């Protein structure tokens, strides 16, 4: 782990760096608080040893700025200082230091304090990964990894309030039941995953994509007027047709039908996301009835 040492005294830095190396970590040394902030902005440093008494910006001010500027990640800060009164220790901890070591320090003690910091950082990382995993379970479709219906609707509602024009499409894989019946459900799953990947690759940067259920997918294209949004989904429809699915026994060609609707600023107050879904669904079924492998625009 990289450990950032911030001290204006080269002798102190050398002693701390040797201790960090003996603890099995990589020391990175700077001589001012401003240099420390530059390093923090460029690298994901998670543990710091900070001296209190420094010119231009002391350790207290540096810790305040770190807590204000890098609140997006957990950072463990050990303050190294000759100040040892109770008031000083409390002041350091209150502004955001996690631990406090009085100089001159014993290398063995500092290694132990660093070990505590590393364990806490690793614990926080495991907790963060677990929370992310739990959020994915709650918001993502287990097969395609797209947003599930509930999370998609939440995001769509918020996006609808913030953007105009606002286009929404629904996509259905054609003859999907026949694929399952002929090749089996694992093949059907492969089809869904590939379609999801195609939709995600082509449209994710422009909007929000979700799996609506079964072989149906749904997406929004904020700030896309009808002509532009229709061109995008027509390109997607063609890509699905031109991308064969590689199965163990043979390659199969699939197609998809798409219904799309756009709500403009002048009629936005007269519709909701659920209204748009209903209209896009009606357009989707027109695409099915008109021969499939096509895009239909809602009235």
Q: Which domain holds residue 17?
A: 2-138
pLDDT at res. 269:
66
pLDDT at res. 51:
94
Residues 154 and 288 in one domain: yes
pLDDT at res. 208:
96
Domain count across the chain: 2
What does the alpha-carbon distance between residue 182 and residue 250 come to, in Å, rounded to a whole number? 12
pLDDT at res. 103:
87
Residue 144 lies in a domain: no
pLDDT at res. 108:
93
Among 79, 108, 138, the domain-final residue is 138
215 given a catalytic annotation:
yes
Which 3 state secondary structure label does DSSP give 48?
A: strand
CA angle 285, 291, 296 (to 5 degrees): 50
Among 138, 164, 186, the domain-final residue is 138
Q: What is the CATH number of the domain that holds 19?
A: 3.40.50.2300
Tell me if 198 sits within 8 A of 173, measured CB to CB.
no
Q: Is the pTM for the entire model greater than 0.75?
A: no
Residue 283 lies in a domain: yes
Q: What is the CATH number of the domain that holds 234?
A: 3.30.70.270
Residue 257 lies in a domain: yes
Task: Report residues of the chain scoring pLDDT below 50.
Answer: none
Residues 45 and 95 in one domain: yes
- Which listed residue (215, 216, 234, 282) is catalytic? 215
Residues 173 and 113 in one domain: no
Closest CA to 179 of 192, 170, 166, 188: 188
Residues 106 and 213 in one domain: no
Distances (CA, A) of 9 to 26, 100, 104, 249: 19, 18, 13, 70
CA angle 37, 43, 47 (to 5 degrees): 75
Q: Taking the CA atoms of the chain, what radius of gyration do you get in angstroms?
A: 28
pLDDT at res. 265:
66
Among 138, 164, 190, the domain-final residue is 138
Cβ neighbours of residue 150 closer than 8 Å, sequence gap 6 or more? 139
Residues 159 and 281 in one domain: yes
pLDDT at res. 183:
92
Residue 51 lies in a domain: yes
């Amino acid at each position: 782990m990289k450990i950032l040492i911030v001290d204006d005294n080269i002798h102190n830095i050398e002693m701390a760096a040797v201790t960090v190396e003996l603890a099995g970590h990589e020391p990175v040394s700077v001589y001012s608080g401003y240099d420390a902030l530059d390093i923090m902005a460029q690298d994901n440093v998670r543990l710091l040893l900070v001296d209190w008494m420094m010119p231009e910006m002391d350790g207290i001010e540096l810790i305040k700025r770190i807590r204000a500027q890098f609140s997006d990640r957990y950072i463990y800060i050990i303050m190294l200082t000759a100040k040892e009164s109770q008031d000083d220790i409390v002041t350091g901890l209150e502004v955001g230091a996690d631990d406090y070591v009085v100089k001159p320090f014993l290398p063995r003690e500092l290694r132990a304090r660093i070990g505590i910091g590393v364990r806490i950082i690793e614990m926080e990382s495991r907790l963060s990964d677990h929370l992310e995993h739990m959020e994915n379970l709650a918001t993502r479709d287990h097969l395609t990894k797209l947003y599930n219906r509930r999370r998609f609707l939440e995001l769509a509602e918020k996006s609808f309030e913030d953007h105009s024009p606002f286009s929404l499409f629904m996509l259905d894989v054609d003859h999907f039941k026949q694929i399952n019946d002929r090749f089996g459900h694992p093949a059907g799953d492969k089809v869904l995953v590939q379609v999801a990947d195609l939709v995600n690759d082509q449209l994710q940067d422009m909007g929000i994509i979700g799996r609506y259920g079964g072989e149906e997918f749904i997406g929004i294209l904020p700030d896309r007027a009808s002509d532009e949004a229709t061109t995008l989904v027509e390109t997607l429809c063609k890509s699905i047709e031109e991308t064969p699915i590689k199965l163990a026994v043979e390659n199969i060609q699939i197609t998809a039908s798409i219904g799309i609707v756009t709500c403009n600023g002048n009629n936005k107050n007269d519709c909701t996301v659920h209204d748009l879904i209903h209209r896009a669904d009606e357009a989707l079924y027109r695409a099915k009835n008109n021969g499939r492998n096509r895009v239909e625009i809602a009235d």
